Amino acid sequence: MKLRRIVIFTTVCLFSLGFLVSPALAFKVGAVFSVTGRTSFLGDPEKKTAVMVAEQINAAGGINGEKLELIVYDSEGDATKANLAVKKLITQDKVSVVIGPSLSGTSMAVVPLAAKYKTPLISCAASYKITWDKEKGTARKWVFKTPQTDTMAVDAIYSALKQKGISKIAIMSVTSGFGASGRGELIRLAPEYGMTIMADEKYGPKDTDMTVQLTKIKGLAPKAIVNWSVGPTQVVVLRNWRDLGMKSIPFYQSHGFGSRKNIELAAGAAEGVFCPLGAVNIAELLTPYDTQYAVAQRYLKDYKAKYNEPLSSFGGHAWDALHMAAQALASVGDDKAKIRDYLENNIKGFVGQHGVFFYSPDDHIGLDKAAFRMVVVRDGDWALAD
Amino acid sequence: METITPAGQLFQYLITGITVGSIYAMVAVGFNIIYNVTEIINFAQGEFVMLGGLVMVSLHVGMGLPLIAAFPATMIIVTLVGMLLDRLAISPIRRPTVLSLIIATIAASILLKGTAMFIWGKDPYDLPAFSGRNPITFLGAVIQPQYFWVIGFLIITVIVLTLFFEKTILGKAMSACADNPDAASLVGINVKQMILLSFALSAAIGAVAGIVVTPISLMEYDRGAMLAVKGFGAAVLGGLGSFPGAVIGGLILGAIESLGAGLISSGYKDAFALIVLMFVLFYKPSGIFGDIEVSKIKRF
């Protein structure tokens, strides 16, 4: 009997303690990233960055003296898990704003939740569909995003080609979501820039060799090649391009090429290859007069010091999202509707890792093609292309 | 700018197709060795290829072993993995049916893939080409020196295996297990040991395929499955269990993929190979070199 009483007493005590502690003493921000699984190359640096940014904000005295509490869940790149995680963040953890998920697919799966629970969501995924409601023809009220879109990368590449007077191009793409989406934009925007697509070649994400596709392109003699892929194929295609003696045809990679690891893997074949990248990828190359110089330099230094690993540009998306959320919390407090209004109306010229953001009621992406710098591989490293 | 003639293009498609096909053929040969002795399809065959490439990268690039030492060392390590696979997953199954054994190999392939992800991470790895990366121009086509290594090793593998199965007692004992395991054990052949040997042999061949293809295509932890699918296609096309069939099947599959992608459309590359496979199976269900009478008495 005595034992039972003790048990009941302890339980009651613990519960009341829980109630005493529970009132929010901190600003709560939720985050959902694909930290593990196939797409952990996105989620892992995003999580590390978000944790680092939260620590920095708290070390500097928090937001208006209040602590910033970051709650991170792992979606494993799975739409269902992302959906459950966001639901839990909003209904149980009672966060004021959610950042993430990392993928376009998982982001689309949680977009309805943001509207249902009237909670602002800042996605870290690429597709413009995340913030744009095609049926209504308006931006989704509660959803914002930080990464550049495929459209901007295509805009940047086509502008560079046009400047060089090139109009006859061949495009290559991998048959994955990333490649298909980029290919769609390449074809859609071609007439706008006066581009003639002479060849439209594809390959599988696990293909061993792209010599065949390039041989076909070689026969058509275009003035430039634009390739859209991620993973090992974007390296193999460069080697084949070099081996086939096609270096006289300029090669443009998508922004998916933005890792020094790829230059290294290409074993010299990447020399002279162009690609559009955000400022965060090339922090060392920026001049001190650059708007993004200070933020990019600081992020690079802090990340390397804390995690002792090379900076991944994907982490920059989380940096941008969390800093914007923190700025909104500092200005209007933890009222969700006010945070949303602040993001939409007051993020004007926010200097982030991937560009300078201008949100508006019609534009919840906030960037344009200026967020990309055209970069060329020179002596095994990035250099600004002129 | 260099131009290329249509004939040169055609030759380039063929040579690339044959190289890729050689890899499929080596995977198919690996399938056949195990199939011949046990009548099961080893779904972890692609994982042997992946392991071959990655272990080689670790030994050759990571630890700095010379090529000539790293090559056999990699083969030995992967062979041991193959033998462990048999001892830990295949041989302990109490009442082996073809289906339960195949499911065990699927489990093993997932396990191997997961382990490789833990050891090497998700990034692709590169291996220096065996004899440099200066391409050779021949009849208007550009040939990477590594292509010759791939094709050469396929030829060596086929010759060694043919000699082994036709000239040595051990090889004949393995063939006997394939024909009739009960009769084989009656004449004193240790069937369990033959199965172990078949796993060792296919793992070794998988390792060779992985080592020679990595300088061309890079290697990462999850490439095994795709190679296994293509290799299985090649084995079925040539006739399951037939070594000449595996080689011809692999080369045909590679050439069709390459020519289809080059001449018609690269988007449907995989479809061309499958369409040809379906047609062959429609007219000759046992494959090009398969024997319909033999396949009737097989359990699978």
Q: Name the nearest CA neighbour of A173 among A237, A216, A229, A252.
A: A229
Residues A189 and A267 placed together within one structural domain of the fold: yes
Distance between CA A206 and CA A190 in Å, rounded?
28
Report if residue A10 sits inside a domain: no
pLDDT band at A129 (very low <50, low <70, confident <90, very high): confident
CA A4 → CA A18, A127, B26, B100, distances in Å? 21, 57, 70, 51
Answer for the pair A354, A317: CB distance below 8 angstroms, yes or no: yes
Report if residue A137 sits inside a domain: yes
CA-based torsion, A332, A338, A342, A345: positive or negative: negative
Mean of pLDDT over chain A = 90
Report if residue A91 sits inside a domain: yes
* Tokens describing residue A196: 């003639």
Out of A38, A245, A265, closest to residue B142 by CB: A245
Answer for the pair B299, B98: CB distance below 8 angstroms, yes or no: yes
Distance of CA A83 to the CA centre of its chain: 19
ipTM of predicted assembly, 2 dp = 0.83
- CATH class name, domain B6-297: mainly alpha
Per DSSP, B122 falls in state: S
Backbone angles phi, psi at A114, to 5 degrees: -60, -45
Mind listing the pLDDT tens digit for each residue in B289-298?
877 666 666 6
Q: Please report the pLDDT score of residue B300 as a whole number.
A: 58
Residues A144 and A172 placed together within one structural domain of the fold: no
Distance between CA B103 and CA A102 in Å, rounded?
34
Which chain B positions have a beta carbon within 8 Å of A174's beta carbon?
A: none
Mean of pLDDT over chain B = 89
Residues A210 and A61 placed together within one structural domain of the fold: no
Which chain A positions have a beta carbon within 8 Å of B9's beta carbon?
A: 215-216, 218-219
Question: Which range among A15-29, A228-242, B127-141, B215-229 shows the weakest confidence by mean pLDDT?
Answer: A15-29
Please determine, for residue A24, whether its predicted confidence score (pLDDT) is greater than 60.
no
Task: Choose, out of B15, B118, B142, the residue to mutate when testing the contact with A (most A CBs < 10 Å).
Answer: B142
Check A218 against B220: CB less than 8 A apart: no
Residues A216 and A271 placed together within one structural domain of the fold: yes
Report if residue A217 sits inside a domain: yes
Residues A265 and A379 placed together within one structural domain of the fold: yes
Count: domains in chain A: 2
Q: Please give the residue range of the domain that contains residue A174.
A: 150-277+372-384
Percent of chain B topping pLDDT 70: 96
Q: Name the nearest CA neighbour of B106 among B285, B232, B238.
A: B232
| Mean pLDDT computed over A163-192 | 92
DSSP letters for A45-64: HHHHHHHHHHHHHHHTTTBT
Answer for the pair A253, A227: CB distance below 8 angstroms, yes or no: yes
Report if residue A3 sits inside a domain: no
Q: Name the nearest CA neighbour of B204 among B88, B51, B21.
A: B51
Check A215 against B1: CB less than 8 A apart: no
Mind listing the pLDDT tens digit for each residue in B43-61?
999 999 999 999 999 999 9
Q: Distance, in angstroms, between A246 CA and closest chain B CA?
A: 8
Out of A203, A231, A243, closest to residue B142 by CB: A243
Q: Please report the pLDDT score of residue B1 as a whole number.
A: 44
Mind listing the pLDDT tens digit for each residue in A348-376?
999 999 999 999 999 999 998 888 999 99
Report if residue A287 sits inside a domain: no
Distance of CA B216 to the CA centre of its chain: 16
Task: Choose, out of B16, B50, B125, B211, the residue to mutate when testing the contact with A (most A CBs < 10 Å).
Answer: B16
Residues A47 and A123 placed together within one structural domain of the fold: yes
Q: Output the CA torsion B150→B152→B157→B159 (10° steps).
A: 160
For chain B, give every domain's residue range: 6-297
A198 in contact with B, Cβ within 8 Å: no
What's the CATH code of the domain at A227? 3.40.50.2300
